[in-house]
Structure 1
Amino acid sequence: MWKLVRVLVFLILIIPVISWLAWKLEKKRPINLLVIDKTTPEKNFSEHLSFFWVANQSKWVKPTGEEYDYSKDFLGFHPGENGQYVIKDLKVFGKGSSAHLADSLDVVFFADTYGIYNSNWKDHPDYGKDTISLFYGGLQAEEFNLLRELKRKGKTIIAEFNFFASPTSPIIRKQTEQLLGVNWSGWIGKYYHSLDTLINPEIPQWLPELYRKNYNSEYQFRKGGIVLVNNREQIIILEQDVHLNEGLPILKSSLSTQLEYNVPEEVYYPFWFDINEADARNHVLANFEIDVNEKGKRLLDSLNVPNKFPAIIEHDKDYKFLYFACDFSDNNMGIYSSYFRGIENISSAFYSPDQIKDRKMFFWNYYRPFMLTVMDSISAKQERRTKYLD
């Protein structure tokens, strides 16, 4: 009996060491990566942390061989202590630097351009108040110029939810849409497990007021459902059992996507998303579907909103472009688990399968395998290019 216990203790102690050594001894992959995240009101850096998690597990390092640091190696808003902050963006490279910068970079990831508002920054005096004003954010002309150069030079561009949406100016938005072949409808949405403002503190304060303004009717929603709003201050509320057969948006991947990226056919997605169209230059790897009944379909049709729309858009010819029409990378992962090879084999220990809103479940079941495939493909392309130049 004691012999068995000693063996088990030994295995418990030695397996993590072997797992770490297996990761540590793998070949480093130098990738010149630029991450842009303007929505970092807190120091958890959740909008880009899971991207760095996969990059670290994929052994992506700086051209110098140094590991990337998710808390420092990004452009955007850098919060400090006692309300202090630093804003680092493309302006630090100087005017007209886009072409030179695009030459040096392999991958640019736009994690979030929503930005910092007085109401979402805890160190701001107006935090939590009804008055909402932009402090810093939106896609800027310098970033559009970089995008144009990256595309021209055949580099990799990855972006996700809020890339096209407010507070980016209409002019920059239109230019970016035309450049990349994606058209934002103006609509964004999110699932709420309860629409009752007394029960669910996540319901924004402006939501009931906007509903009353649009419909001249009292806000009386109590069940779960999906809220859709657009940049013209229109709102649609789809309530479970009233408008919806299935309460949550469903992310559905094509068969080819399932096979190439090792992802399931369907997963629930209870977080922010936007509604876009992709032109003929791109193809759709996965769609969002909202399972509405006849009443819900009529409500969507009244404002020309589809119940099926792209979730993942790709261009993979003369340049690489991936757009995730959702908060794909928003996940407060623990970075240290990325240092262990084979950690995915015990991933079920990190989340509860009964908690649909658990972002870690989405990370392990969909995000990690998808992004790992993406990063492996980029690494292989870079290695082929390096051998060719040598």
Structure 2
Amino acid sequence: MSLGDMAGVMNDGAIIMGDLFCADGHSKDRHNFAISHMHSDHASLLTKCLYNGRVFMTKATRDLLEAINDDSYADRTFDGSIKRKQIQILEYKERAKVLENDIIEYIAFYHSNHALGASQIEITTKDKKRIVYSGDITADDIPPENIHTLILDATHGHPSYDKVKDPASIERRMLDKIDEVTSAENPQSVVIHGHEGKLQEVMTLISNHKTLDNFPMQASAKEIKIADVYRKYDFNIREEITDWSSDKGEEQREETDWPFMEFYTQNTKRTYENKRKAFTFLLTDKSNQTPIIESDNTWTVTTSAHAGHNELLSYVEKAKTTTSEQLRIIVDNSRSKQAKALVGVLRAKGYNVEFQPKI
């Protein structure tokens, strides 16, 4: 895209919105940035953005990025050519006015269930056109009203991605399996692999499952810090989680008669998993097969972190019903290989849609 289009996706994934804003990336021509949520494919350029302008986000996203990056952004400012460069916190549906070079635009965040603090980002341009970047959305997310241009997530854009129909049932089956392996005659420990945020949600499930109260929980220092943030926002996560790298963590793993539960962001199995001393759960949102795939000493569990194909279509339909003019749709082709498939389906339904970048 060219910057003159005022809405689109750059080759590096930066989302251009209006005359003034760039979301989930960096542009040297912009001084106002927004971050939809904490995950690295959306927030990795935060520091670069801070040195070039101010960055808008929710308070929870800021707190999570402090934990992830082991830094503090609450009071940080930089001196530069555009006055104070800083993080600016917005509540959901709060509108902030931005004035630059005699251009006025407004930014607002709308709730997303993708992760704690996640947002859909809305920019109202000088011509009162509303540009919305969906960010990573889920089945439960509702788009803002009166959208002129929608920049749409395509993580599960292909029609084959529609297998998660009952997340609560999947969670129950997973908890039942953890009960089974930890209470067996020859009990196993449990290692749960997943991304940041989803691990903390599973920590919450386990912390509220009474039969698992007595088993120690382990995670990296960073995942424990992220859990602390989730707890601050009313997620009921057990207070005591042991640092995996600590002496206490090692002692727990060496206790052969009493299982432990580990939360791990890497997909590579630990030695004790390969030796069948621990049962493996691989949490994924990339599977287009059955919700739970059972294999040797391993369950691959499909999560609901992203909207499925039909749920994306439903989201677009909801956006269409609240706009008085033809909805323009740009599908993000930088973060998913499924953008072209989604564009094909939407075009067949009569939508004005394209994918960007054209790579």
Relative to its length, the structure with more helix (as a share) is 1
TM-score scaled by structure 1? Answer: 0.28
TM-score, length of structure 2 as denominator length = 0.30
